[in-house]
Amino acid sequence: MLYVKDLLKFVSLKPALVMQFDYKTSSYGWMNLLGPTPEAQIAVLENIIYKSLIDFEVHCLHDQLRVINVSTQYQYKFEDIIADTDEGTYPIPKTIAYLKAGTGNTQLNVNPWVAGSNSALLSDFGGHFNARLWNYQKPYLHCQYTGQMLVRSYCNRPYVVNVTNDNKFTEDSRIYFFDKHANHFINQFYLNILQHVKFVKESVQTATNVNFLANIDEQIQRVDAEVDQFYRTYKKSMSMWRK
């Protein structure tokens, strides 16, 4: 789980923004580059968070395993289960990669691939286990089996982003399911901030010479290359779904 307060702290240490950071007060001076007022700045930043999530999840939806219990009507309705932890959170899948039929005393929301998880799985039917055996139309799954099923799904990450009366993000503002890949999302967030600042910079017309972030084009080019490299390699690995 990635808290917004930590997200802002991480991005404040990026090369183009670190000189705008006040270590004594822990204030983010770079936010002044986003808009003319604190209200505008926090609104822009909130929008950049949402946009960064959309950009990231075009390539990197959350990959989640879960166990469901399909009823005798051969269907299952997914519902959002949003907890205070990543472990207890199960969003409605955006798409499903595959199912595995299970047998035995499998507990719900337990990964049957983990040793000692008190579960027994049937085979995944090899190449014969294909889309003809099930159909998913969000949020309903229809299949030719009943009982417990292991589902590998891809989901959008839930988020909680709230703003206080003094234009700060609340302590509990957070984005779910970011851990080892958080650096790549932070890069996307950083890139979107730089692109917004560049647009503002090019839109400002004053009688004096406005010269901030003089190397912003170089920064955007470098970060964009890092983000693009990650997406290309990660997208390739996602196409090779394991069974």
Q: CB of 103 within 8 A of CB of 149?
A: no
Q: How open is the CA angle 236-158-227, to the nearest 5 degrees? A: 35
Q: Is 213's pLDDT higher than 80? A: no
| Torsion angle of the four alpha carbons 92, 107, 127, 138, in this order, in degrees rounded to the nearest 10 | -20
pLDDT digits (tens, 9 = 90+) for 65-81: 888 888 888 899 999 99
Residue 242 token pair: 């394991």
pTM, two decimals, is 0.77
CA dist 38 and 45 (Å) reads 10
Q: Write down the domain spans for the chain.
A: 2-59+158-238, 62-155
For the ranges 15-29, 67-81, 118-132, the maximum mean pLDDT occurs at 67-81
Per-residue pLDDT, averaged over 165-180, amounts to: 90
pLDDT given for residue 209 in this prediction: 44
Of the candidates 29, 59, 48, the one whose C-alpha atom is nearest the C-alpha of residue 195 is: 48
Query: How large is the average pLDDT for residues 196-215?
Result: 64
Q: pLDDT tens across 29-56, in order?
A: 788 888 888 899 999 999 999 999 999 9
